[in-house]
Amino acid sequence: MMKKFIYLLICTLFVFTSCSDDNNDDGNYKTFSVTVQLTYPAESNYKAVEGVSVKLDSKSGSGSYEAKTDGSGKAVLAVPAGIYDISATERRFISNQRINFNGIKTGLVVNDSWTAANIQELELQFSKSAQIVIKELYVGGCPKDDGSGTFNYDKYVVLYNNSEEDANVGKMALAMTMPYNSTGTNNYYDAGGQLTYANQGWIPAGQGLWYFQQDVVVSPGKQIVVALSNAVNNTITYSKSINFDNPEYYCTYDNTVYTHALTYPAPAASIPTSHYLKAVSYGAGTAWALSALCPAFYLFTPDGTTVKDFANDASKNDSYGGSSVLQSKKVPLEWITDGIEVFTTSLDDNRKRLTSTVDAGYVYYTNKQGYSVYRNVDKEATEAIEGNKAKLIYGYNLGTTNVTKGSTDPSGIDAEASIKNGARIIYKDTNNSSEDFHQRSQASLRK
């Protein structure tokens, strides 16, 4: 009986091995060699270095592949057939200034006609780390207590001074791109699969803008909260929501421009009217429709003009896809302070809207669960601050690696707990959301 069992086992293993070999022959496990050559802006005078990470991310979300460059800036990756986004991020410190190089190229098709001699050039864009960064963005809503659905009117953004000097956000604007969703039809893509404005030096700001009424100085290591809707104590009705009843908070509220009552009820009495952001609208709608699913959100500060005058300048108009309803403004790249590209986990046809100078990556997000996207800690820079390490709290456990396409902060530092313990946090800022952000299982303002 034992001999018969062993014989059957050997036969089974033989059949399995044969099937595996056949699968290799059929191409199911076949890989192709993809060579990526990084190129640097000619005007920067910077040269390629060894050890820069180059990634190929499957457009279907089925896999991510990574390799390091050699001294000539070339990386070779073995990947199965598919459609990929190529990206790379490099950070250098020059005279104590953080310099970022980012690049992304979408829609690389690898199939049986692929040849190893087909070298993919990836042009890196030059940018500097910002004083004010987007620390956290919460847009997706939370479950209602009775299980009947989602409460979607408690969005917010946290702006943080990541530098060593005071920063004034008083002339800063809050903007979003078109289309609203990363999965929506994107008329800005050309026949070659590239964003038409990628080499034109601007980013679209869709439908309208928000701006501060006066100077707002943020000290190093400090933050301001801006409620983007329903600036009241929402926890009275929905326990998993956010309480914005705080005199230190700011809010988007201008009922002379946006009148949608569910989005903009009168703010909590504790919030001073001077903390109300003003709006300018140049598109249709009674609310500033920041996506609850997958927005591309960014900050900019005009140079030589005001937000209001810029928004009213007809020469900056861009009619999205020829639409008379969906309008944008052309925001110069050099004005943009920070941006974040959010992709939805529910669909696989996400497409980039922010160019690599602003954000070379993306962070996946699941809405309706009370999750936020939160900036990762720069572990090396944070630990290097004198006297800081003893105040840091490790063992961060609010990431979402247990959910589809979830993520966490690789530093392992619990930023919020550390701040409460007196630590100063330096957040990661490479202008690449894939490196800089993770999906957090509970928005930080939820108590």
Kindly report, residue by residue over 225-284, the tens digit of the pLDDT.
999 999 999 999 999 999 999 999 999 999 999 999 999 999 999 999 999 999 999 998
Rounded to whole angstroms, what are the CA distances from 260 to 207, 230, 250, 370? 15, 11, 19, 23
In one-letter notation, the amino acid at residue 117 is A
Tokens describing residue 264: 């903009």
Give pLDDT, residue 3.
42
Whether residue 368 contacts residue 345, with contact meaning beta carbons closer than 8 Å, is answered with no
Tokens describing residue 257: 């421009």
* pLDDT greater than 50 at residue 22: no
Whether residue 189 contacts residue 351, with contact meaning beta carbons closer than 8 Å, is answered with yes
Instruction: Give dist(CA 445, CA 244) in Å, integer.
Output: 9
> What are the tens digits of pLDDT across the range 347-365?
888 999 999 989 999 999 9
> What are the tens digits of pLDDT across the range 174-211?
999 999 999 989 999 998 888 999 989 999 999 999 99
Is this structure's pTM higher than 0.85?
no
Q: Which residues contact 416 (CB under 8 A, 6 or more apart)?
A: 444
Q: What's the mean pLDDT when you consider all of the chain?
A: 90
pLDDT above 70 covers what percent of the chain?
90
Give pLDDT, residue 90.
87
Tokens 């959910």, located at residue:
403
Tokens 């992709």, located at residue:
343
* pLDDT greater than 60 at residue 16: no
> What are the tens digits of pLDDT across the range 301-324?
999 999 999 999 999 999 886 776
> What are the tens digits of pLDDT across the range 77-123?
999 999 998 999 887 765 445 678 888 888 899 999 999 889 999 98
Instruction: Give dist(CA 156, CA 226) in Å, integer.
Output: 6
* pLDDT greater than 70 at residue 341: yes
Instruction: Give dist(CA 205, CA 291) in Å, integer.
Output: 13
* Residue (of 171, 445, 139, 440) closest to 288 by Cα position: 139
The three-state (H, E, C) secondary structure of the chain, written as one string: CHHHHHHHHHHHHHHHHHHHHHHHHHCCCCCEEEEEEEECCHHHCCCCCCCCEEEEEECCCCCEEEEECCCCCEEEEEECCEEEEEEEEEEEEECCEEEEEEEEEEEEEECCCCCCCCEEEEECEEEECCCEEEEEEECCCEECCCCCCEECCCCEEEEEECCCCCEECCCCEEEECCCCCCCCCCCCECCCCCECCCCCCEEEEECEEEECCCCCEECCCCEEEEECCCCCEHHHCCCCCCECCCCCCEEECCCCCCCCCCCCCCCCCCCCHHHEEEEEECCCCCCCCCCCCCCEEEEECCCCCCHHHHHCCHHHEEEHHHCCCCEEEEEEHHHEEEEEEEEECCCCCCCCCCCCCCCCCCEEECCCCCCEEEECECHHHHHHCCCCHHHCCECCCCECCCCCCCCCCCCCECHHHHHHCCCCCCECCCCCHHHHEEEECCCCCCC
Give pLDDT, residue 324.
67
In one-letter notation, the amino acid at residue 149 is G
